[in-house]
Chains A and B, each alone.
Chain A
């Protein structure tokens, strides 16, 4: 089961996305602040992160910079969303290593689907050796 960490200080958003990710078969962890999210990324070791760029204690751009410093998370898919309309935040988040950005109000199903697709594309192909044989992952 793939693991996703949701980092957002808005309980509405965390509940909404937790529901959607669980429905899509993900294991979910929630962090309600940027600092809590930094701790959770190391303990939960997610396969993907959904991050709010606009948190009061630690904004998303700095959060990204902190996480990307750790080699374990250099390639971790991190999807951010924001209510901001200013271009500088998109630019700063891109420079800090965000994988995708959605605007607030994006359809949750689409956000979850795109993260699932990105993870599936990044995963090594599953090779089936026959109907009765165990399935194994091909090594890259």
Chain B
């Protein structure tokens, strides 16, 4: 997790960075639920779309290891490699846990909210 990427996107504004982090985490959580369903149904095209969508958000927020896993997942889905998709999806869940932990630990600002 490269917090510098997120802070640069937020122009160093910690409140805005926290808002972006919250949007990112809730968005990925939602997509991971959809990914579980797509895996259960072996819906390879949907798996690919979800992975692709999540990759873009992850790059934007500096979750680069997670973005790389989503990239792999997207490629594997295109190649119709279901077993490998399941393996990488499990890695995604573990890495997302790390990202959640890091982003939820972002400091609070001392000033009044704007």
Docked-complex contact A83 and B52, CB < 8 angstroms: yes
Question: Within 8 Å CB of A56, what residues of B?
Answer: 49
Question: Within 8 Å CB of B5, what residues of A?
Answer: 105
- Residue B38 at the chain A interface, CB threshold 8 Å: no
Q: Identify the closest chain B residue to A109 (Cβ).
A: B11
Question: Within 8 Å CB of A109, what residues of B?
Answer: 11
User: Using an 8 Å CB-CB cutoff, how does the interface string of B30-55 with A read, 1 for contact, 0 for none?
Assistant: 00000000000000000001001101
Choice from A11, A20, A85 contacting B27 with Cβ under 8 Å = A11
Docked-complex contact A10 and B53, CB < 8 angstroms: yes
Q: How many residues of B contact A (CB 8 A)?
A: 20
How distant is A25 from chain B, measured CB to nearest CB, in Å?
15
- Residue B88 at the chain A interface, CB threshold 8 Å: no
- Residue A19 at the chain B interface, CB threshold 8 Å: yes
How distant is B25 from chain A, measured CB to nearest CB, in Å?
10
How distant is B12 from chain A, measured CB to nearest CB, in Å?
11
Bound: A10/B28 CA distance, A = 11
Knowing A56-B49, A107-B8 are in contact, say whether A12-B59 is a contact too (CB < 8 A): no
Contact size class for A? 20 to 34
User: Of residues A15, A19, A23, which shows the largest number of chain B Cβ atoms within 10 Å of its Cβ?
Assistant: A19
Bound: A104/B57 CA distance, A = 8
- Residue A54 at the chain B interface, CB threshold 8 Å: yes
Bound: A104/B59 CA distance, A = 7
Knowing A11-B23, A11-B27, A83-B52 are in contact, say whether A16-B60 is a contact too (CB < 8 A): yes
Docked-complex contact A83 and B9, CB < 8 angstroms: no
Bound: A84/B56 CA distance, A = 9
Knowing A12-B23, A83-B52 are in contact, say whether A19-B60 is a contact too (CB < 8 A): no
Q: State the B residues within 8 Å of A (CB).
A: 5, 8-9, 11, 16, 19-20, 23-24, 27, 49, 52-53, 55-57, 59-61, 71
- 9 cross-chain pairs, A with B, having the tightest CB-CB distances, nearest first: A83-B56, A105-B59, A104-B56, A12-B23, A104-B59, A83-B55, A12-B57, A12-B24, A11-B23
Q: State the A residues within 8 Å of B (CB).
A: 9-13, 15-16, 19-20, 23, 54, 56, 82-85, 104-105, 107-109
